[in-house]
């Protein structure tokens, strides 16, 4: 218990009367902003499914035309979600002819997993 002991507050005028020890984060604000942006990109079930589908693609990349059926959404909506994953640094995008192809950014998910373990 961190109680206020009668008479102690006057002896310790600089301390808060009831608490405590201000805690310190293991990450700084800039790092928190960086990782939160990536987590936010993954904070949507459709994007998790799309990322999983692209990383599981046997060819090492997936055509946007193959990604609409697994998530049951229109191509513009799927392209919107894929752009968020590209902007977060999780996927790369290559245009070939009329189609866009998406591939995992090597090491991106492993680096994010490392960050989670550092937070733990």
Point out which residues bind a copy of itself (CB under 8 A).
1-3, 16, 18-27, 29, 32-33, 35-37, 39-58, 62-63, 65-67, 69-70, 96-99, 104, 108-110, 112-114, 116-117, 119-120
Closest CB to a copy of itself among 14 and 23? 23
SS3 call for 106: coil
Least distance from a copy of itself to the Cβ atom of residue 67, Å = 6
Least distance from a copy of itself to the Cβ atom of residue 118, Å = 9
Least distance from a copy of itself to the Cβ atom of residue 12, Å = 16
Closest CB to a copy of itself among 11 and 26? 26
Least distance from a copy of itself to the Cβ atom of residue 10, Å = 20
Q: Which two tokens stand for residue 44?
A: 């949507």
Region label for 22, one of left (φ > 0), alpha (ψ between -120 and 50) or beta (otherwise): beta
Looking at 1-120, list the stretches that DSSP marks H as alpha helix, in order from N- to C-terminal side. Answer: 8-11, 29-41, 45-56, 64-71, 75-87, 108-119
Question: What is the C-alpha separation between 116 and 109, in angstroms, rounded?
Answer: 11
């Amino acid at each position: 218990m961190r109680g206020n002991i009668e008479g102690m507050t006057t002896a310790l005028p600089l301390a808060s009367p009831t608490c405590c020890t201000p805690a310190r984060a293991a990450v700084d604000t800039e790092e928190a902003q960086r990782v939160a942006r990536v987590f936010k990109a993954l904070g949507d079930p459709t994007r998790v499914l799309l990322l999983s589908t692209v990383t599981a693609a046997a060819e090492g990349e997936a055509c946007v035309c193959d990604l609409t059926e697994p998530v049951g959404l229109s191509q513009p909506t799927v392209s919107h979600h894929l752009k968020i994953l590209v902007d977060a640094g999780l996927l790369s995008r290559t245009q070939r002819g009329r189609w866009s192809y998406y591939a995992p950014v090597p090491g991106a998910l492993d680096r994010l997993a490392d960050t989670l373990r550092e937070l733990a």
